[in-house]
Amino acid sequence: MIRETNALTQRELKHWYRSKIQIFVALIQPIVWLGLFGQAFNLGNLGLPPSAIEAAFGTSSYFSYMAIGMLAVIVLFTCMFGGMSIVWDRRFGFLNKLRAAPIPRSSIAISRIFATTVRAMIQMVIVCIIALLFAYVPGLVGLSVNASFSIFDLIGIMIAMFLLAIMFSSMFTAIALKVENQETLFAIVNLLNLPLMFASAALFPTTAMPTWLQDVARYNPLTLAVDSSRQFAFHSSVYTYPWAADLIGLAIIAGLFLLLAIWVAKRTMSAR
């Protein structure tokens, strides 16, 4: 199973890094958000005292708050379209070849999940570096982390984003295995992306939301990922759950969706 999974994962990654325009488009969107949305909401320009910003966001600027949220958003966007290759493989008959091949059906799902997760993590790291570099551009606000930020904090952020990537890639892989055409997949993606993003703490604190939306946001996996990541990045006392609870919740949800994707692959890819 390991050999088959590795071969299929390498195939997916080769398709990705050979498509330069796909990488460019995937990166330019969060950069636009960071450069326009993040800079436009520079609350320091409104005359708010640093203490008020610190109390609301747990950090010195809204840009830093949003930049961590954008790490989770780029993971979401990457994983949402990770299942598109499955639809194309079905259209061109490659899935039929896999169905007839003597390989474990679980390797088909796991390879797509691993490939999508690798893509999401690479793009997330690039976006994080760009947000940090903004601090050295005159006139722009950049991502600033706590002065005592350590390798432990970096590992914590990477674990949170990795679990989030596993969860979303598993979810959208399972969906892509069930749908028959790309129009249906696009419709499902467009239905899910905005609610997942805005009903979370990725862009705004949950305390600023209506009570009913706060209840939804607390259980959104995006909230768990950014909540723990901000605790690592800022050592903030403003959080929804302790970071350990966030990571445990993400691990449980990611594990359940991974099992779901494997089960769907076994059901849909069985030879007929």
- Per-residue confidence (pLDDT) for residue 45, from 0 to 100: 47
Closest CA to 120 of 254, 241, 265: 254
Exposure class string for 101-140: b at 16+ Cβ within 10 A, else e: eebbbbbbbbbbbbbbbbbbbbbbebbbebbeebeeeeee
Confidence band of 94 (pLDDT split at 50, 70, 90): low
**In angstroms, rounded to a whole number, what is the distance separating the alpha carbons of residues 24 and 36?**
18
Tokens 């432990």 -> residue: 152
Mean pLDDT score, 131-143: 81
pLDDT in tens, 99-110: 666 667 677 788
Quote the DSSP letter at residue 235.
-
Question: Is 80 exceeded by the pLDDT of residue 60?
Answer: no
Q: How many CA atoms lie within 13 Å of 8's alpha carbon, on the beta-carbon side?
A: 26
Confidence band of 177 (pLDDT split at 50, 70, 90): confident
- Per-residue confidence (pLDDT) for residue 224, from 0 to 100: 92
The residue with greater pLDDT, 136 or 48, is 136
| Average per-residue pLDDT for the chain | 80
- Per-residue confidence (pLDDT) for residue 156, from 0 to 100: 93
Closest CA to 66 of 42, 98, 102, 47: 42
Mean pLDDT score, 214-229: 90
The residue with greater pLDDT, 129 or 84, is 129
Which distant-in-sequence residues (6+ apart) come within 8 Å of 270 by Cβ? 99, 105
